[in-house]
Amino acid sequence: MDTMADGISRASFLIGAVGAGVAAAVPVTAAAAPAAARTQTADGPLYDLEISEAADLIRRRKITAVQLAESVLERAAQVEERVIAYALAYSADDVLAQARAADKLLRRGTYLGPLQGIPVGLKDIIFTKGILTEANSKFFRGFKPTFDATCVARLKAAGAVIVGKTQTVELASGDPAPTNNPWNLARTPGGSSSGSGAGTAAGEFLAGIGSDTRGSIRIPSANCGITGYRTTYGMVSKHGVFPLSYTIDDVGPLARSALDAALLVDVMAGQDPEDPTTRPVQRYELAAALTRDRGKRPLHGIRVGVPAAGDYFRGVPNDDELAAFDEAVKVIASLGAEVVKVRTNTLPKPFTTLNSISTPIVNAEVGAFQYQNWKARAEDFTAQYRRQVNTGNLLPANAYVDAQRARALWMRGFLAMFDDIDVFIHPGDEIATLKPPATDPARPRPSSGSKFGAWSLTGSPSIAVPTGLSGAERMPLHMLVNALPGDDELALRVAHAFQGATKHHKLRPAL
Query: How far is the C-alpha of 61 from the C-alpha of 339, rounded, in Å?
Result: 43
Please give the span between the terminal C-alpha atoms of the chain, in angstroms, as a whole number. 19
For residue 124, the minimal CB distance to other proteins (Å) is 25
For residue 405, the minimal CB distance to other proteins (Å) is 5
Residue number with CB closer to other proteins (82 or 405): 405
Residue number with CB closer to other proteins (308 or 408): 408
CA 411 to chain centre: 23
DSSP state letters, 225-278: TSEEEEPSTTSB--TTB--S-TTT-EEEEEESSHHHHHHHHHHHBS-BTTBTTS
Q: Which of 357, 421, 475, 483 binds other proteins (CB under 8 A)?
A: 357
For residue 139, the minimal CB distance to other proteins (Å) is 13
Residue number with CB closer to other proteins (368 or 406): 406
| Sheet-wide strand order for 207-212 | 86-89, 161-166, 119-123, 207-212, 250-255, 227-230, 462-469, 476-483, 423-427, 303-307, 338-342
Interaction of residue 416 with other proteins, rule CB under 8 A: no
Region from 56-64, 83-91, 347-355, 496-504 binding other proteins, contact rule CB under 8 A: 347-355
- Interaction residues for other proteins, span 223-282 (CB under 8 A): none
CA 231 to chain centre: 10
Region from 267-275, 406-414, 465-473, 503-511 binding other proteins, contact rule CB under 8 A: 406-414
Q: Nearest 5°: CA angle at 84, between 79 and 89?
A: 90
Whether the CB-CB separation of 409 and 293 falls below 8 Å is answered with: no
From the candidates 52, 71, 192, 196, give the one annotated as an active-site residue: 192
Query: How far is the C-alpha of 279 from the C-alpha of 301, rounded, in Å?
Result: 27
Q: Nearest 5°: CA angle at 308, between 306 and 311?
A: 105
Interaction of residue 345 with other proteins, rule CB under 8 A: no
For residue 432, the minimal CB distance to other proteins (Å) is 25
216: annotated active-site residue: yes
Interaction of residue 408 with other proteins, rule CB under 8 A: yes
Interaction of residue 379 with other proteins, rule CB under 8 A: yes
For residue 368, the minimal CB distance to other proteins (Å) is 14
Query: How far is the C-alpha of 158 from the C-alpha of 264, rounded, in Å?
Result: 10
- Interaction residues for other proteins, span 381-400 (CB under 8 A): 386-388, 390-391, 393-396, 398-399
Residues paired with 466 in a beta bridge: 478
From the candidates 52, 193, 216, 456, give the one annotated as an active-site residue: 216
The count of residues interacting with other proteins (CB under 8 A) is: 35
**Binding region for other proteins (CB under 8 A):** 348-353, 355-357, 359-360, 363, 374, 378-379, 386-388, 390-391, 393-396, 398-399, 401-406, 408-410
